[in-house]
Amino acid sequence: MRIPAARIWVLSAIVLCAVAARRRLSYGVGEQLQLPATPLDRTSASGTREWAFLQECRRRIPPGVSLTVIAADPDQESALFMLALGVYPDHSVLPSSYFGTTAPSGSQAEYVLIYDGAKRPDGLEIVAQWADGAVGRRKR
Amino acid sequence: MTALKHLLFSASLVALPVLGFGAAFHRSVRSLTLPARLGASLALGCVSLTVTAVLLSTVGIPWSIPALSLPPLVTSSVLWRAWGREARSATRPLRPSGSVAVLATAAGGLSVLHLSVALITAAATSTDFLLFWGVKAVRFAGSRGIDAALPKWTYFTHAVPDYPPLVPVVTAWSVLWTGEFSWRLYPVTTALWALAAAPLVLELLRRRATDDQGAAITAFWLAAVSISLARSLSGGSAEAPLLFFETLAVAALLAEPDRESPSRFLPALMLAGAVLTKVEGSVAVLLVAAGALVRDQEAHGFPTAVRRTVALVSGAAAALATWFLFQATHGLPTGFRGHGDLWSLHRGFLPEILGGLLRNLDAGTLGLSWLVPLAFLLVSRARIRPLLPALTLSAGVLAFLVFDYLHDDRSPSQRIRWTAPRVSQPGLSALILAAGVATSRKREPAAG
């Protein structure tokens, strides 16, 4: 069967673009063209906060030291640990918990990144504190 | 990142096709347009860089830009010496009619713009990129090699340590140039894979189709995959390179003449790239090879078809062996981990899986990206056998997904929502190519 394939293909391609554009423009052009502060700005509100927290801590921690992250929610604590492995490539990042199971190595870390409302461990000297959390250093 | 670092980052990307420049001189490639030859060079550059990086880590030589560059450049030089002297037929100029050219350019341009804006504004960032692809890259670059202690670590299992290394290696390559990693900038490279594949898709389709048809089908393909990559949040992950390698392998096989036996260099190179990119790449090799074997059997007879299939998968087998050798020599479990017992299936979830899969094949276009080629395929009433290398991949990817989800002992709906939009993309791409060839008028192409 002979069909005007080229024209139907190319018109269909235009239709795909129109559908995608309609979806995209439904969010508002100005808002969408703002440069993001984190790689998660438009995909995960909780992820955005977690990433921004880790970046904020980076400025307060010397290179090469060991660190761990604690959070009130175990899932969040695991996610923060996984993200921290990438955000802190020059540090030894140790988990305080992993998929909800306590990890003993976290207690050996020199620096503790305390996310949001996490309970602070004893024996910490608070290096910095702001709305989203704090950075503590273990007293040796 | 400073302006200099941005420049170095760009240079690291430009260097990838330079490493694989030898591919541009193969007789199946050298008569193509320059952008298409660059696509082939990019494939060889990434594959040879990855194999070099794995071999250096296997023997304990630290990575550096010269150490990683030298073997690929020597390989390309040897290939250039061997192939560059052969006569090169003139590139056939592309001459689509005015309206098709305008519409195809508009669709391709708009869809790539859509993807690029999504990537730049962090609207399409992959979570896997942040949790493990990028993490492996910065850690490997920092330790100047694949540090086996990391995949062995109890607290790194979320990063699927057995996954093949192409994406972390190619990403680490850029980190070695810049000395740092931009988590916001890197996902933009996802658009480059789609852009790099398009000229080669077009050139291969032109062996089966008129210029108008080739341009129109390529525009549809580029629009469908660009929109899907954005919608499926594939920014920075391994989805775009996998799509690049698998699409070009299938396109090269579909472009083969019916009665001749052209070289299998290009599809074999692409399948080698696929197995080094994701575990699904190995599944794709099996599916594509099965499709090619059944198709070739009719035209060439069984012994020749088997011989040509061996040639097709030889590069992938060698590439995979390199990765498994590294695993074996560093005390890592050799091979890929299964998702539970192979035949431990939870059949009660089948209706939920089928429904969930259909709902998640939206591809950012209300499913039109799937429906249009499917309709074309049905209306064209084309013979199925010549299209098998593409159709086995398309149907096989979806069947593989169903099989994989059947292993979940709890409701798989959430996992389907997370994975189906992106893992199904090679199936979508192969379906478009199959339908494109099915609707093309030029049935018997010249040998490539």
Q: What is the per-residue pLDDT across B59-115, written as a single tens digit (0 to 9) for each?
A: 999 999 999 999 999 999 999 999 988 777 777 888 888 899 999 999 999 999 999
Angle at B4 between CA B166 and CA B136, to 5 degrees: 25
Per-residue CA distances from B33 to B94, B216, B443 (Å): 9, 18, 22
Q: What is the pLDDT of residues B138-154, one digit of tens each?
A: 999 999 999 999 999 99
Mean pLDDT for the stretch of residues A128-138: 94
Instruction: Write the burial class of residue B261 (CB in 10 Å: 0-12 exposed, 13-18 middle, 19+ buried).
Output: middle
Mean pLDDT for the stretch of residues B397-405: 96
**Listed residue (B421, B367, B432) closest to B398, CA to CA:** B421
Lowest mean pLDDT across B21-25, B192-196, B357-361, B380-384: B380-384
Please list every residue in chain A whose beta carbon sits closer than 8 Å to the beta carbon of residue B212: 6
CA distance A102 to chain B (A): 11
pLDDT of residue B140: 97
Q: CA-CA distance, A68 to A110, in Å (whole number)? A: 8
Mean pLDDT for the stretch of residues B196-216: 96
Q: Of the candidates A1, A81, A103, which has its C-beta nearest B380's C-beta? A: A1
Q: Of the candidates A39, A103, A105, which has its C-beta nearest B187's C-beta? A: A39
Instruction: Please give the mean pLDDT across all residues of chain A.
Output: 92
3-state SS, chain B, equals CCHHHHHHHHHHHHHHHHHCHHHHHCCCCCCCCHHHHHHHHHHHHHHHHHHHHHHHHHHCCCCCHHHHHHHHHHHHHHHHHHHCCCCCCCCCCCCCCHHHHHHHHHHHHHHHHHHHHHHHCCCCECHHHHHHHHHHHHHHHHCCCCCCHHHHCHHHHHHCCCCCCHHHHHHHHHHHHHCCCCCCCHHHHHHHHHHHHHHHHHHHHCCCCCHHHHHHHHHHHHHHHHHHHHHCCCECCCHHHHHHHHHHHHHHHHCCCCCCCCCCHHHHHHHHHHHHHCHHHHHHHHHHHHHHHHHHHHHHCHHHHHHHHHHHHHHHHHHHHHHHHHHHHCCCCCCCCCCCCCCCCCHHHHHHHHHHHHHCCCCCCCCHHHHHHHHHHHHHCCCCHHHHHHHHHHHHHHHHHHHHHCCCCCCCHHHHHHHHHHHCHHHHHHHHHHHHHHCCCCCCCCCC
Q: How far is CA B414 from the centre of its chain?
A: 26
**Listed residue (B168, B418, B180) closest to A44, CA to CA:** B418
Q: What is the pLDDT of residues B18-49, one digit of tens each?
A: 999 999 999 999 999 999 999 999 999 999 99
pLDDT of residue A3: 60
Percentage of residues of chain B with pLDDT beyond 70? 98
Mean pLDDT for the stretch of residues A45-53: 96
Percentage of residues of chain A with pLDDT beyond 90? 79
Q: For residues A114, B121, B241 and B56, what is the CA-based torsion angle, rounded to 10 degrees? A: -50
Q: CA-CA distance, B236 to B218, in Å (whole number)? A: 23
pLDDT of residue A2: 55
pLDDT value at A39 more than 90: yes
**Listed residue (B225, B266, B261) closest to B245, CA to CA:** B266
Q: CA-CA distance, B46 to B19, in Å (whole number)? A: 8
Mean pLDDT for the stretch of residues B401-412: 94
Query: If you measure CA to CA, which chain A residue comes closest to B220?
Result: A13
Q: CA-CA distance, B88 to B84, in Å (whole number)? A: 9
Mean pLDDT for the stretch of residues B159-187: 96
Please list every residue in chain A whose beta carbon sits closer than 8 Å to the beta carbon of residue B437: none
Q: CA-CA distance, A80 to B7, in Å (whole number)? A: 31
Assess: ipTM above 0.90. Answer: yes
Lowest mean pLDDT across B235-239, B267-271, B406-410: B406-410
Question: How does residue B117 score in pLDDT terms, banded at 50, 70 and 90?
Answer: very high
pLDDT of residue B196: 98
CA distance A74 to chain B (A): 15
Q: CA-CA distance, B177 to B164, in Å (whole number)? A: 22
> Measured between CB atoms, does A8 come within 8 Å of chain B?
yes
> Measured between CB atoms, does B117 come within 8 Å of chain A?
yes
> Measured between CB atoms, does B153 come within 8 Å of chain A?
no
Q: What is the pLDDT of residues B211-268, one digit of tens each?
A: 999 999 999 999 999 999 999 999 999 999 999 999 999 999 999 987 677 899 999 9
- What are the structure tokens assigned to A29, written together? 């052009």
* Phi, psi of B251, deg, nearest 5: -60, -40
Q: Which residues pair with B125 in a beta bridge?
A: B235
Q: Of the candidates B122, B138, B372, which has its C-beta nearest A89's C-beta? A: B138
Instruction: Please give the mean pLDDT across all residues of chain B.
Output: 94
Mean pLDDT for the stretch of residues B354-359: 96
Question: How does residue B448 score in pLDDT terms, banded at 50, 70 and 90?
Answer: very low
Q: How far is CA B430 from the centre of its chain?
A: 11
> Measured between CB atoms, does A13 come within 8 Å of chain B?
yes
pLDDT of residue B344: 87
Question: Do the Cβ atoms of B368 and A3 come within 8 Å?
Answer: no
Q: What is the pLDDT of residues B296-315, one digit of tens each?
A: 998 889 999 999 999 999 99
Name all contacts of B148-155 with Cβ < 8 Å and 24+ positions apart: B148/B57, B148/B330, B148/B331, B148/B332, B151/B332, B152/B331, B152/B332, B154/A98, B155/A81, B155/A94, B155/A95, B155/A98, B155/A103, B155/A105
Q: CA-CA distance, B355 to B308, in Å (whole number)? A: 39
Q: Of the candidates B123, B159, B231, which has its C-beta nearest A42's C-beta? A: B123
Are residues A54 and A84 in contact, defined by beta-carbon separation less than 8 angstroms?
yes
